[in-house]
Amino acid sequence: MTDFKIASWNVNSVRLRAPQIVDFLGADAPDVLCLQEIKCRNGEFPGEVFTKAGYPHHMVRGQKGMHGVAIVSRHPITEEDDPEFCQHGHARMAMGTVNGVTICNVYIPAGGDEPDAKTNPKFAHKLNFLDRMKTFFTARKKANPKEKLVLTGDLNIAPLESDVWSHKQLLKVVSHTPIEIEALKAVQDAGDFVDAARELIPEPTPVFTWWSYRSKDWTKNNRGRRLDHIWVSPALRDAALHHGADGFSAHTACRSWARPSDHIPITQMLRL
């Protein structure tokens, strides 16, 4: 049996933050890093930087301007067809298999400011995206209930009360509204996914992965949200829980780096 570490990070521009990402890879040494919001086209992805850092295998789904996801790995990646979660064709999904583990790297739409699908097209898009995910994972589980599957990425929803700095104050704020939480729970149930972080660090302990740029000193009031997740299928549950609380990490220190992303990397160890 061997350890296999998966990392996920919304980097908010892979080219801008490539040096930071390399520093993180050097310090934490995951086997696979899933990136979201890379903000570049395929040919603009700084693949040589990651190859030099010991991650020669890249799966890039780029797009001009916003969005974009990628997987970089120490080990070969067998690419799979990307599910059509996004009705607008945004680059928000990359799916591949590494060392027998199928990894779905997803960047769910933020959803705008108003949590009303009738008046806010961005929120309607988010709910549609989640519904398509539910349909896909329902079929996937039925076809292969013993698949070693990981769903990770910036899911843009903080589902639990301890996933936000104030449950009461954020109930009507996009990312923590009941309708989003219900839709995300439907995705989780569709794939029978295990929220490994919360299995290892149960409520009421807060776990945050995102802090707004609007806060001049994010450490002062710690108004965070857990928007980034690593979920595993039942076939990987024991693998994800093997190391106990040490198996999951939210790398909070990265939020204090110079010109940081508003998200931090998270990692999950699997004993395969």
- Contact between 40 and 15 (Cβ < 8 Å): yes
Q: What is the mean pLDDT of residues 6-25?
A: 98
Task: Name beta bridge partners: 232.
Answer: 150, 194
pLDDT confidence band for 174 (50 / 70 / 90): very high
Structure tokens at 13: 């521009």
- Contact between 272 and 247 (Cβ < 8 Å): no
**Cis peptide bond N-terminal to 204, omega within 30:** yes
Q: How far is CA 18 from CA 35, 88, 151, 261, 269, in A?
A: 11, 28, 24, 11, 23
Assess if CATH 1.10.10.10 describes domain 3-271.
Answer: no
pLDDT reading at 216 higher than 80: no
Residue-level pLDDT at 214: 85
Element (H, E) at 270: strand 266-271
Q: What is the pLDDT of residues 67-106, one digit of tens each?
A: 999 999 999 999 999 999 999 999 999 999 999 999 999 9
Whether pTM > 0.85 for this model: the answer is: yes
Kindly list the domain boundaries of the chain, sorted by start residue: 3-271
Average per-residue pLDDT in the chain?
Answer: 97
Q: Is 61 exposed, middle or buried (0-12, 13-18, 19+ CB in 10 A)?
A: buried
- Residue whose structure tokens are 């009303």: 116
Percent of the chain with pLDDT strictly greater than 70: 100
Residue-level pLDDT at 215: 79
Structure tokens at 94: 């990359």
Residue-level pLDDT at 16: 97
Distance CA 241, CA 200 (A): 7
DSSP 67-107: --EEEEESS--EE-PPP---TT--S-EEEEEETTEEEEEEE
